[in-house]
Structure 1
Amino acid sequence: MLDWLSRNVRIFILAFFLALAVWVSAVTAADPDETRPYPNPVSIEIVGQDPGLVITNAYTRQIEVVLRAPQSVWRQLTSEKNSVRAVVDISNLSSGSHQVQIQVQVSNQPVRIMSTSLASLELVLEQLLTKTMPVEINIIGTPAIGYQAQEMQLSSTEVVVSGPQSIIQRVQKIGASLDISGVRQDVDTEVNLSVLDESNLPIDGLNLTPANIQVTVPVVQQGGYRDLAVKVVVSGRVANGYRLTSILVNPPVVTVFSSDIALINSLPGYVETTQLDLTNVSADIETRLALNLPEGVSLLGDQNVLVQVGISAIEGSLTITDRPVTVNGLSPGLAGTVSPLTVDLYLSGPLPVLDTLITTEVLVSVDATGLVAGTYQLTPSVTIMVVGIRVETILPGTVEVIIGKSTPTPKP
């Protein structure tokens, strides 16, 4: 028996490998391998980073991967999220520049990684520093005349700045600017803080906690000063057919002063202008008016105010009937007949203009340019020799035009 086995062992081994080859061939034929790029870019994952270190250089965030796998595995790879990962392990790395291998991991098997668009990453690690610094707010401008800013209040007087050591070493101050020019009331606003270097230029790449703070600047009115609304005094009636549409004054509020505080406090909340006469006015007015101030009270700044008065015509409507329609643009040798011969017009516009409109200043025509003999439905157009009048409706909206050969005028 042993002799028989020893004589046939090579035959058994050969038969085994032949069977294995047949099996592999059958499996490969049923589920053939394919080599192709993974359809989506693979994001690079940084793992094992020391919390006391920070990456300071720019690096590639995604790579392309070419895989070889059976068709069944490809179906799984393309249907599942995160089936292919690109991992960069920086465990145990210290500060400095490092070339780190990119490890491509595939969750489904069997898969062979044929190539990647990038094999390794260069990463620069720096020590992460944290520093507490005071907040400096730069106040720009001053309040309106007669007002004074009080001591500023901050929701936080210190902030924590963190980032790479090389950038932290450049930081000189943390601050922001706040403009209070011309204000008449308390300023309460949120400002975004900036990290600045010794040249007062902003520095990027750092984290601030908090990144913004609330700033409050109390503003109080000084004694002897008072703000008063400006009231424009008008008289007379605008021209017939016109109406007053608006009265604007600039500035709408003025500041007055008196050494007699009791006098200032006794004033009403407004001050009147000198009288503006609008009798028979038919156009907009822009003028400067003085203010009527009691004796002992003076006006700060400009001694008069700008007043703008809007005047517009009252709108109305007008109907013109039986305006004849003419045919324009006929080619030589052709004549046109219109039916109906006349149309009715409904016009609108300023009443003073409508009241003086003459019927002959309204012309109605149809354009027959380029038309040959035949029958046409054309839309009339209206020409009004006066500006400001609108055509609302033409009745009828279209007219029939019959174009034919013109009849020669008989000679006497």
Structure 2
Amino acid sequence: MDIARLRPTRSVLLRMVLSVILAVLLWGWVTSLADPDETRSLPNTPVSYGVPGDGLVVSTTEIVASVTATGPASVMDDLTSRNLALTLDLGGIDQPGTYIVPIVPIEQERFIDYRVTPSTASIVVDEMISEVFPITIRTVPEDLTDRQVLGQRLSAPEVTISGPRSIMETINAARVDIDIAGQNGQIAIRAPVYAVTTDGNRLDSSTQNVNITPSIVEASLDVRSIGREVTILTSV
């Protein structure tokens, strides 16, 4: 058998390559007809971010960006600023400081093309620390004169507050507020714990990057009403 005759000639190879190219082009054309590309702009898309490293936290406030994305209509039809997830690329950050980092879609493989504006964000990375504070009870209203507290007790006498060092250095107390207006006798109230900063601001567990444990305590108070002195005038 002549082996040389079994080898495809150059013209046959060329026709085979052209056939493959035409098949790919035809597949792309049919696909584009069934699921054409669309471009959509999504302004004010929230940017999420994780923890850059052990003992670190991003203390920057809310970050948003605008996105222009192109992809198949089947993907773009359901695309909104709420279900498009943007995140910060925090790779390589291992110490506190100010950084310029890229903003990228989490599932960028869904798109043929995308553009994020701005493409980067300036962030502050802070050290995460914890401190224990005694909890004090503040009775309200503070100007109440017809009630007095004879005794008080908390289910947890102290609280652990965690947060960025820049915030923790401003905290000087932990408190709960108990409304005693109209109360008389033994009362038990579950109250949220909050931190007080040196400039009088209030921070609680809903504050970004601040964690308070326990966040709620039970306060038991013995509240008594104070009678008013009444002057009685008598006539002789």
Q: TM-score normalized by structure 2?
A: 0.68
Tell me the distance in 1 between the aligned counterparts of 2:184 and 2:5: 115
CA drift of 1:135 comes to 1.2
Listed one character per residue, the Cα deviations across residues 63-114 of structure 1 (whole Å, up to 9, x for unaligned) are 5241244xxxx32564699996544342441222222223433455xx5214
Q: Who is 1:75 aligned against?
A: 74
SS in 2 for 1:28: helix
Q: Who is 1:102 aligned against?
A: 103
CA drift of 1:212 comes to 3.3
Q: Quickly say closer, same or farther: Cα 1:23–1:84, change in 2 above 3 A.
A: farther
Q: Who is 1:218 aligned against?
A: 222
Q: Who is 1:343 aligned against?
A: none
User: What runs of 5+ residues in structure 1 fail to find an aligned partner?
Assistant: 223-254, 256-298, 305-412
Tell me the distance in 2 between the aligned counterparts of 1:127 and 1:188: 38
RMSD: 4.2
Any conservation in 2 of the 1:42–1:65 contact (CA below 8 Å)? no
Q: Of 227, 230, 233, which residue of structure 2 is paired with 1:301?
A: 230
Larger radius of gyration: 1
Tell me the distance in 2 between the aligned counterparts of 1:210 and 1:133: 11
CA drift of 1:189 comes to 2.8
Listed one character per residue, the Cα deviations across residues 322-375 of structure 1 (whole Å, up to 9, x for unaligned) are xxxxxxxxxxxxxxxxxxxxxxxxxxxxxxxxxxxxxxxxxxxxxxxxxxxxxx
Q: Quickly say closer, same or farther: Cα 1:48–1:97, change in 2 above 3 A.
A: same
Q: Who is 1:162 aligned against?
A: 162
Tell me the distance in 2 between the aligned counterparts of 1:61 and 1:76: 22
Q: Quickly say closer, same or farther: Cα 1:62–1:221, change in 2 above 3 A.
A: closer
Letter in 2 for 1:56: S
CA drift of 1:196 comes to 1.6
User: What runs of 5+ residues in structure 2 fail to find an aligned partner?
Assistant: none
Listed one character per residue, the Cα deviations across residues 265-294 of structure 1 (whole Å, up to 9, x for unaligned) are xxxxxxxxxxxxxxxxxxxxxxxxxxxxxx
Letter in 1 for 2:219: V
Q: Quickly say closer, same or farther: Cα 1:35–1:17, change in 2 above 3 A.
A: farther
Tell me the distance in 2 between the aligned counterparts of 1:221 and 1:75: 69
SS in 2 for 1:152: strand
Query: Aligned residues, how many?
Result: 218
Tell me the distance in 2 between the aligned counterparts of 1:40 and 1:117: 9
CA drift of 1:215 comes to 2.4
Tell me the distance in 1 between the aligned counterparts of 2:179 and 2:216: 16
Instruction: Please give the residue correspondences for 1:222-237 in structure 2 after superposition, counting only pairs within 5 Å.
Output: none
CA drift of 1:166 comes to 0.3
Deviates more, 1:53-62 or 1:36-45: 36-45
Letter in 1 for 2:37: E
Q: Quickly say closer, same or farther: Cα 1:41–1:113, change in 2 above 3 A.
A: farther
Q: TM-score normalized by structure 1?
A: 0.43
Instruction: Please give the residue correspondences for 1:7-406 in structure 2 after superposition, counting only pairs within 5 Å.
Output: 9=10, 11-12=11-12, 14-32=14-32, 33-37=36-40, 44-47=47-50, 49-61=52-64, 63-69=66-72, 74-75=73-74, 78=77, 85-94=85-94, 95-104=96-105, 105-106=107-108, 111-139=111-139, 140=142, 141-143=144-146, 149-178=149-178, 180=180, 184-203=184-203, 205=208, 206-219=210-223, 300-301=229-230
Deviates more, 1:47-56 or 1:122-131: 47-56
Over the matched positions of the two proteins, sequence identity in percent amounts to 15
Any conservation in 2 of the 1:138–1:176 contact (CA below 8 Å)? yes
CA drift of 1:195 comes to 1.6
Any conservation in 2 of the 1:143–1:183 contact (CA below 8 Å)? no
Q: Tell me: higher relative CO, structure 1 or 2? Use CA pairs within 8 A at least 6 residues apart.
A: 2
Tell me the distance in 1 between the aligned counterparts of 2:180 and 2:201: 22
Any conservation in 2 of the 1:161–1:207 contact (CA below 8 Å)? yes
SS in 2 for 1:36: strand
